[in-house]
């Protein structure tokens, strides 16, 4: 007669099961994390695209405004303003012009002069002359 009175059962190996559960959990977690990262990537990409779009929009608006400013301040536009009387041209008499010696750049020899004595400066004849009222 068999002395073991326990009913024969299939034992559950908790250790192995736990190991598998943990492995599957981490695997699942990794998968979810991957999906989360992918979503984040898409979200950041969308954000980057929006920022790029906004930047282009601002640049385009800036260009448009610059072109408008150029148009409004062009010689033709200013001349029109003068003709309309919005801008007035005031003659400056020659006697009210003070001419001073223009700064002398370095000579070809590389030596910087401390003072200019060259009367033949650009479009100017006698640089020392000061005419004023």
Using the rule CB under 8 A, is 54 a contact of other proteins? no
Measured distance CA(85)–CA(91) in Å, rounded: 15
Binding to other proteins in span 95-114, by CB under 8 A: 95, 97, 99
Site string for other proteins, 2-41 (x = CB under 8 A): ---------------------------------------x
Which residue in the set 25, 30, 33, 42 belongs to the binding site for other proteins (CB under 8 A)? Answer: 42
Cβ(128)–Cβ(100) below 8 Å: no
- 98 CB-side CA count, 13 A: 3
64 binds other proteins (CB under 8 A): yes
Residues contacting 118, CB < 8 A, separation 6+: 104, 127
30, 32, 71, 100: which one binds other proteins (CB under 8 A) = 71
Does residue 128 contact residue 118 with C-beta atoms inside 8 Å? Answer: no
- Rounded to an integer, what is the distance from CA 74 to the centroid of its chain? 27
User: Based on CB atoms, which residue is closest to other proteins, 21 or 97?
Assistant: 97
- Residues at the site binding other proteins, with contacts judged by CB under 8 A: 41-42, 44-46, 48-49, 56-57, 59-61, 63-64, 66-67, 70-71, 73-79, 86-95, 97, 99, 120, 123-126, 129, 131
């Amino acid at each position: 007669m068999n002395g073991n009175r326990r009913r024969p059962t299939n034992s559950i190996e908790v250790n192995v099961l736990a190991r598998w559960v943990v492995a599957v959990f981490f695997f699942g977690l990794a998968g979810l994390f991957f999906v989360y990262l992918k979503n984040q990537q898409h979200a950041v990409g969308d954000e980057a695209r929006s920022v790029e779009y906004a930047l282009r929009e601002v640049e385009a608006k800036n260009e448009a405004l610059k072109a408008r400013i150029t148009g409004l301040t062009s010689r033709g536009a200013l001349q029109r303003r003068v003709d309309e009387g919005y801008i007035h041209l005031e003659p400056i008499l020659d006697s009210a012009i003070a001419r001073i010696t223009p700064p002398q750049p370095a000579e070809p020899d590389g030596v910087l002069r401390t003072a200019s004595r060259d009367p033949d400066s650009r479009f100017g004849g006698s640089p020392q002359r000061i005419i004023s009222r």
